Amino acid sequence: MTSSPEDLMKRLGVTLDAETLRLALTHRSYAYENGGIPTNERLEFLGDSILGFSVTDALYRDYPDLPEGELAKRRSAVVSTRALAGVARQLGVGEHIYLGQGEKRTNGMDKASILADTMEALIGACYLNHGIDVARDMVMRLMGPLLTDAAALGAATDWKTYIQEYAASRQLGPVLYEVTGSGPDHARVFQAVLMMGGTAYGTGHGNSKKEAEQEAAGDAWRHLNPAPVES
């Protein structure tokens, strides 16, 4: 690690006790290799709920004229894996995550899914140590700028939802994803091809099927070049 846990907490803007912080940073791959110690997955579950509520509350209060559908899209963008991973990279979270040897060899510290899950675990840890008000303040300090950043919202857009709506409105046929995987289990890479009405519209790659499908949907959206997404 090139920075200390104290440095990480300064960037997060909160202090966490050593035990809770370590738990929040313990990936299941590390726990498995070290005798089945507790992982950060329960904290992730808790943090996910706090994140969703905090962003939903802010959107409801700050955008009184937006309809429910647009509020949902914005929430989806801000709490997406890509958005959370982006914030985690800015904070340097990756270098502090406890990973198993397999994940270390495949650069797990920079995998979007691992970074996003760890961010949610850190939010959960903040809640356990300080309560809901401090946890919500942390969420809005870190994620709040994305609510008004059009570029960030565009980068974090749930492209699968937009493609689904686009296909339905133009009767292009069902949206299907043909996903294949390659490589060993500890370094699996997936490729997705988005199909509509039997025609391929986009491709994507990722460390999970979900990431590959999301990238394929974004690729298809750019190729179709519909009207820009409002932000």
Q: What is the set of active-site residues? A: 48, 120
Distance CA 82, CA 76 (A): 11
Place of tokens 């990722």: 206
Distance CA 120, CA 4 (A): 20
117 is in an annotated binding site: yes
How far apart, in Å, are the Cα atoms of 186 and each of 112, 182, 207? 15, 11, 10
70 is in an annotated binding site: no
Q: Which two tokens stand for residue 28?
A: 């299941």
Give the gyration radius of the chain's Cα atoms: 19
215 is in an annotated binding site: no
Name the strand (E) or helix (H) holding 47. helix 41-62
* Residue length of the chain: 231
| Residue of 229, 155, 223, 154 lying closest to 194 (CA atoms) | 223
Place of tokens 């060993």: 184
Distance CA 164, CA 195 (A): 11
Name the strand (E) or helix (H) holding 110. none
Binding region for Mg(2+): 44, 117, 120
Binding region: 44, 117, 120
